[in-house]
Structures are given as structure tokens and as C-alpha cells.
């Protein structure tokens, strides 16, 4: 049985005090062995939050990183730095990074390789715009994103990659893809992965859905065949709501 990964992506929200208080409020959360609870926090808080979640079931992730280990890249954070402070996961290629910070499929691929070189689990985001969906381009667009993102990885690395399907039109808009539509794309993603590697490897890949996920719709999303978790923005900012999302995963196993 695949893992269920519930990840909260805080984006550029919270003061340090609010971030630490959040962790204090969720640290009693227990996940069963199938479920992982991850908070993707802003860089300045990572170190302190990693220390706070020791002995708890919550993991701390970064929201992006550079692909180089070090160098003259003013303002950037490297995989070495993240691994050094005990971060476990990193989001790569979020649509906001692609749109505002020129991330391309090629830089996503370099970052995924860099993540594995430093024992970080990549959460690789893919998804279509509304225009692409309306032009019936969703599946071709996503196939291209996935093929380039995973290029050159070993089967074992692919099995350990988390893929987040986030239709751009559903992010922060309150519009969720119907669970059937979301599952159809996640199923397609698994088929693409199977073509690149094998059915066996593809069966191991955790595929999350993201885009206006909240406690009210997570049960339905998780009840589908190919959605193995969620990457949650807005609804991950309040401890009570994040706990409900993780409990929805706990209920499944
Ligand atoms: O972008 C997202 C998570 O990475 C989704 O954000 P919302 O849950 O706020 O729609």
C-alpha cells in the first residue's frame, strides 16, 4: 500500500512566532505508519521548526532550493544547507516558482537530481493552466513536465519522488478539480511514470493533488484510486484545519 503524504505549503505566510506556535499546536498529532505530515515553511524558520518537531510525527520541508551545492548565487539556498539543518523534503517546480521565478522543466530536473544527492525527498509539482485545460492540452503538457522532471533518475529515485498534481486554475481560487477529474490526471501521471520505468515502480510513487484542498473535500479526493495525499496551501495555515487534513489520511489506513 502506498504512503499518504499530507503537506502544508505555507508559501510566504506567518511570522516566526506564528510558525512556532503552529508547531506547538500540531505536535501532538500522531500519524500511523502509512501517513506522513509535512510542513513546507519559509526559509528563515526552517532551522527552528526542525528542532521543534524532533520526537514528533511532523516533518519540515523547504518550498524551493537551488540545484548547485554552493557558489555565487546571491539570495539562493542550496540542497547542502537544507540537508545540513535537517530538512527532509523540498518542493520543486511549484507553479508560482515557474511563473514568477523562471523555473523551467530543465531546472526542475536539475533540482530533483540535487535533492536526491543530498537525501532530500523532492515534491515535484506539475499542472496545467486554464487555457491549456480548455484547449484539451492537459495530458500532453503534464506528460512533458513529468518526462523532463524525472529524466536520468534511477528507478529507485523515481519510486521515492512525490509528484504533486496542481492544476493552476485551482490554486487559491476555491475551485477544486472534481475528484474524478483530479484522479484521471493522477492516473495518467502514473501511466507516464510506468512508461519511463516500470508498472512496479509507478505503483510506488506517491501522487498528491493540490488546489483548494480543505477538510471538507479531502475525504473524497483521498477515496480515489490514484490520489495519495495533498499539497495544501490556504487550509494548511490553521493548526485545526491541518490536523483535520492529516486525520483524513489516518482514517484511510
Ligand atoms: O499551491 C498550492 C499548494 O502548493 C495550493 O494552494 P491552495 O490550497 O491555497 O489552493
Any catalytic annotation for residue 113? no
User: How far lies 237's CA from each of 146, 210, 214, 245, in Å?
Assistant: 29, 15, 11, 11
Distance 9 CA to ligand 1 centre (A): 7
CA 58 to chain centre: 15
* Pocket-testing residue among 40, 213, 229, ligand 1, by greatest number of atoms within 8 A of Cβ: 213
Q: Which residue has the cell 480543505?
A: 214
User: How far lies 122's CA from each of 1, 114, 190, in Å?
Assistant: 20, 9, 17
Question: In terms of DSSP bridges, do strands 58-62 and 121-126 run parallel, antiparallel, or are they unpaired?
Answer: unpaired
Does the Cβ of 9 fall within 6 Å of ligand 1? yes
* Other beta carbons within 10 Å of 32: 12
> pLDDT tens, 125-179?
999 999 999 999 999 999 999 999 999 999 999 999 999 999 999 999 988 889 9
Instruction: Inform me whether the pLDDT recorded for 253 exceeds 80.
Output: no
| Cβ partners under 8 Å of residue 40, min gap 6 | 7, 8, 9, 10, 60, 61, 62, 63, 89, 91, 123
Any catalytic annotation for residue 166? yes
Is 10 annotated to bind a ligand? Reply is yes
> pLDDT value at position 176?
82
Left if phi > 0, otherwise alpha if psi is -120 to 50, otherwise beta: which for 234? alpha
Is 71 annotated to bind a ligand? Reply is no
> pLDDT value at position 145?
98
> pLDDT value at position 82?
98
CATH entry 3.20.20.70 includes domain 4-252: yes
For residues 252 and 237, give the distance between their C-alpha atoms in angstroms, rounded to a whole number: 23
ipTM of the complex: 0.99
This prediction has a pTM of: 0.98
Amino acid at each position: 500500500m502506498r504512503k499518504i503524504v499530507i503537506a502544508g505549503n505555507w508559501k510566504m505566510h506567518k511570522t516566526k512566532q506564528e510558525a512556532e506556535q503552529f508547531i506547538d499546536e500540531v505536535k501532538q498529532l500522531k500519524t500511523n505508519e502509512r501517513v506522513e505530515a509535512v510542513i513546507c515553511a519559509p526559509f528563515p524558520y526552517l532551522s527552528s521548526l526542525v528542532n521543534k518537531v524532533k520526537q514528533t510525527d511532523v516533518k519540515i520541508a523547504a518550498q524551493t532550493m537551488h540545484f548547485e551545492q554552493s557558489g555565487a548565487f546571491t539570495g539562493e539556498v542550496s540542497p547542502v544547507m537544507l540537508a545540513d539543518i535537517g530538512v527532509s523534503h523540498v518542493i520543486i517546480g511549484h507553479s508560482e516558482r515557474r511563473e514568477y521565478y523562471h523555473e523551467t522543466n530543465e531546472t526542475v530536473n536539475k533540482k530533483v537530481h540535487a535533492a536526491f544527492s543530498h537525501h532530500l525527498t523532492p515534491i515535484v509539482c506539475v499542472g496545467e493552466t486554464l487555457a491549456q485545460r480548455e484547449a484539451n492540452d492537459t495530458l500532453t503538457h503534464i506528460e512533458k513536465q513529468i518526462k523532463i522532471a524525472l529524466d536520468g533518475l534511477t528507478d529507485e529515485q523515481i519510486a521515492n519522488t512525490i509528484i504533486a498534481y496542481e492544476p493552476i486554475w485551482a490554486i487559491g481560487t476555491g475551485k477544486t478539480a472534481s475528484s474524478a477529474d483530479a484522479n484521471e490526471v493522477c492516473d495518467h501521471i502514473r501511466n507516464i511514470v510506468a512508461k519511463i520505468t516500470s508498472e512496479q515502480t509507478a505503483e510506488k510513487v506517491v501522487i498528491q493533488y493540490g488546489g483548494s484542498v480543505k477538510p471538507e473535500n479531502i475525504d473524497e479526493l483521498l477515496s480515489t484510486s490514484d490520489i495519495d495525499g495533498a499539497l495544501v496551501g490556504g487550509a494548511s495555515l490553521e493548526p485545526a484545519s491541518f490536523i483535520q487534513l492529516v486525520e483524513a489520511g489516518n482514517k484511510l489506513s
